[in-house]
């Protein structure tokens, strides 16, 4: 059963990240341009959506125009590279660090314009576009052995996987991992546990669902909020968090739980979030 972790309602809660050195959860309210923790709020001047950890005090953050390092103490921002900086239509969306020290990040239209988005990978000074023509890229996550990456374009209702080389670059065509087209469920953010199973937040379904690497549904966990957006484990523990959103809910549909951040205990064990190597 999901319990309340933080009561603050987010317009679009996303990108939960458990920092293994600080033992603290960070997440974003994309529409409010904010990075959050249980006790703090950091305000930015454009959309921010996903992060990975560089060191005890530094995060890599993806915004609508760039990747930058951010010092949690001094609030100093240092630009790493542009991210569709000349494209006013798009912003960053889902992202996660990979086992090889890289960072994958999706972009999408600010109004979910069809096929406006892409997925990129930043690795040791290089930003490379991996996938194009996506509408709402989500579910970026990685197998424990670093040999596979997962992602989705939410409207397709399919989670795909690609094989990775030893440096973390794709070496195969994307193939189907989880097919939700017959269920009506919309895959949003996802994370992989230590056993290789995929935990997927499902927009509009008020639930998290766990799938085997072969795409078999293993279990579901109900959320009090309709729009579940992204899960994250508290490192190598059984604590599992999930963000949510008020976005897309009519005023007469909204409940106090919409947009809040939740946690639960599961039978699985998570992976430690990987360190980004600049």
Looking at the annotation, which residues are catalytic? Answer: 188
* Token pair in block for residue 213: 């690497």
Sheet (strand 77-82) strand order: 48-53, 58-63, 66-71, 77-82
Q: Is the dihedral of CA 122, 125, 130, 132 positive or negative?
A: positive
């Amino acid at each position: 059963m999901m319990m309340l972790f933080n009561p603050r309602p987010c317009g679009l809660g996303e990108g939960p990240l458990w920092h293994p050195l600080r033992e603290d959860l960070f997440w974003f309210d994309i529409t409010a341009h904010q990075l959050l923790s249980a006790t703090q709020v950091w305000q930015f001047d454009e959309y921010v959506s996903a992060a990975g950890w560089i060191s005890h005090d530094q995060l890599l953050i993806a915004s609508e125009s760039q990747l930058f390092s951010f010092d949690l103490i001094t609030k100093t921002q240092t630009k790493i590279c542009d991210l569709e900086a000349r494209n006013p239509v798009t912003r960053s969306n889902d992202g996660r660090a990979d086992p090889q020290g890289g960072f994958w990040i999706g972009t999408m239209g600010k109004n979910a314009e069809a096929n406006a988005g892409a997925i990129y990978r930043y690795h040791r000074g290089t930003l490379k576009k991996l996938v194009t023509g996506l509408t709402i890229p989500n579910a970026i996550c990685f197998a424990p052995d670093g040999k596979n990456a997962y992602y989705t374009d939410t409207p397709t209702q399919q989670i795909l996987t690609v094989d990775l080389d030893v440096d973390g670059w794709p070496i195969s065509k994307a193939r189907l991992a989880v097919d939700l087209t017959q269920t009506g469920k919309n895959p949003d953010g996802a994370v992989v546990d230590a056993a290789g199973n995929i935990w997927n937040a499902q927009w509009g379904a008020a639930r998290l669902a766990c799938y085997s690497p072969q795409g078999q549904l293993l279990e579901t966990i109900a959320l009090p909020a309709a729009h579940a957006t992204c899960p994250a484990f508290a490192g190598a523990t059984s604590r599992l968090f999930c963000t949510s959103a008020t976005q897309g809910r009519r005023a007469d549909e909204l409940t106090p739980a919409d947009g809040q951040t939740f946690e639960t205990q599961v039978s699985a064990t998570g992976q430690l979030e990987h360190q980004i190597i600049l």
